[in-house]
Amino acid sequence: MSGTKKVILIVEDEQQNRKLIRDVLQLKGYRTIEAVNGVEGVEMAKQYKPDLILMDVQLPVMDGIEATRIIKEDNITQTIPVVAITAYAMPGDKERVLNAGCTDYISKPVHIKELLSRVADYLEERNTESSTANHHE
Ligand code: MN
């Protein structure tokens, strides 16, 4: 991985899940920071302005839906992509997550391949967007 490491904020209250996500992302060369509830997630997003946020939906103090709404209403943090991590599988839940401003979502249990490909999508998209748009070979 070249250049400055991308920073990913993991907002997740379950310790085992947080460790899994952290280990996988660090192994891939990303920097990670962590929050364990929605309020802390909002504060850390503002303070560190990460390149991407992975947001668990079910969180204590403030859930991931509300935290995402606040992040998306704040000028400082609104451009940061938020990928929700949700245990819900109903069609209405996807809508709820996307309506709050999440860019996308992955479902629990977290599959490592899916997690990494989604993370790569959003982190690399912003760098390669203009160059790929100009290359039709
Ligand atoms: Mn949770």
Protein residues placing their CB within 5 Å of the ion ligand 1:
13, 56, 58
Those residues with Cβ within 8 angstroms of residue 46's Cβ, 6 or more apart along the chain or in another chain:
74, 76, 77
pTM: 0.86
- Measure 63 CA to ligand 1 centroid, in angstroms: 9
pLDDT tens for 23-65 read: 999 999 999 999 999 999 999 999 999 999 999 999 999 999 9
Element (H, E) at 101: none
User: What's the pLDDT tens digit per position in 61-105?
Assistant: 999 999 999 999 999 999 999 999 988 666 777 888 999 999 999
Distance 46 CA to ligand 1 centre (A): 21
| Å from CA of 110 to ligand 1 middle | 12
